[in-house]
Structure 1
């Protein structure tokens, strides 16, 4: 069961949102990508994303994967480690990744790139609605959108898809929310995840400790933004409608969508994929 999409704004998207709160939300989501619960989890969100990449890209080593709205890095460093570890075992070359964003956090990206040589970044701002080809000559290009596509209104989303269809060879949209009753009912669980993140990764920050355990603003914001994400995440059919509106040449493209359970019934990876048939 679904209902009409609502383009609400999350607290983390507001210009008045404090930097520490925005960082807390970003870290919470990043750590969620690596969460594994013994005897329950089907891998992690990151491992399931890697499985989707390997399932739909015939030869991942021939691609450069561009995280087109990377923020502070998000799950891409985790995905890079997972997929290249598997490819190394198979005796194949690793996949190269590029981080881009309209407002690039260059210092954080430089730290990531220093530790993981297969990850590069664009220091200048990149508008996802108008992106030229970023992969080097001889490499195919796949653009990924890690739990960010629901942030864009329909006009921007059409432009972003048009750009991907015109200048890339594949795209993948990953979401961890859905516009349905079960997902909305599970969304309050991220409130408790906010406490866990502060306790294990941010315990040295008095501000974060106070606004988590004394006045629980950080967990509450995470819950509210998670619910808003549910209300504005697009269905596969709605993404197909945006693709049709893009006006791009769709000859040779094939589109699929699906879901992968990670911690049933609370965490599921939803995906929509477009790949050129000759890629």
Structure 2
């Protein structure tokens, strides 16, 4: 990369950030995972993530997939729906997903789990740096960090990886720090208007701070740009793994990318598997 990683902090993570703005950002990013433009998109981000998972984990039904920084759910419900739709068509056992977070929004997760029985959650606060094994004894465990790993500084990130290597059987992270992602980041500014118009059209606060004072779109743009600056490359993740103090014998790591909406949206990923050939 032409610049070093910078541990900036997002506006949406600040204690003074209004709850409505934090929710708007989280919801906007979640909906971006489902975006599919007819005659242009090869797929959605969620579909691309499912494809990568199926390519690297041919025995997905033997895993429990744990989202260790789930927030309001993020893309996990979308990924679960697509993966298990395919599993049902192939008469395979469904994949169980588990949501955890340091600040669990239990009401939001309960609504998700009610609609999607293969999604469950842990009500208590779970520190991503010290997640015990979640999967049952007869299941393997995959830890996913759906574009949240970059929120942690190197010390905490190394601790998260240390726990994943010690307790889980697989790691799946979506990552990128490219010049192109920074150049395209202003596009999320306009996405902020679309989200408000479609989903918050009856909220005076959202309408005011989107169309008259465009605070919501600007915050989405700024935080998206910050994410581009602090996301880790596959090499940097491997360096953290090497300094985690854990034995990596038997682990196989790989990374790659998949175009979703050329040239603006590309899925970058990092996968680790224990016992992979």
TM-score by length of 2: 0.98
Please give the residue correspondences for 1:60-139 in structure 2 after superposition, counting only pairs within 5 Å.
60-139=60-139
SS in 2 for 1:144: strand
Aligned mates of 2:178, 2:276 — CA distance in 1? 35
The residue number in structure 2 matching 1:260 is 258
Paired residue total:
277
In structure 1, how many angstroms separate the alpha carbons of the residues matched to 2:98 and 2:261?
29
- The answer to whether the 8 Å contact 2:252/2:276 transfers is no
The aligned runs of 1:88-237 (5 Å cut-off) are 88-175=88-175, 178-237=176-235
> Which whole-Å deviations, capped at 9, do the CAs of 1:183-213 have from their partners, x for residues lacking one?
1111100000000000001111100000000
Q: Which structure 1 segments of 5+ residues have no match?
A: none
Give SS of 2:9's match.
coil
What is the RMSD computed on CA atoms of the aligned residues? Answer: 1.0
Q: Does structure 2 retain, via aligned residues, the 8 Å contact 1:174–1:269?
A: yes
Query: What is the CA distance between 1:278 and its match in structure 2?
Result: 5.2
- Tell me by how many angstroms 1:42 deviates: 1.3
Q: Distance in 1 between matches of 2:246 and 2:204?
A: 51
**Gaps (5+ residues) in structure 2?**
none
The answer (yes or no) to whether the contact 2:29–2:74 under 8 Å persists in 1 is yes
The TM-score with structure 1 as length reference comes to 0.98
- 1:180 Cα offset (Å): 2.4
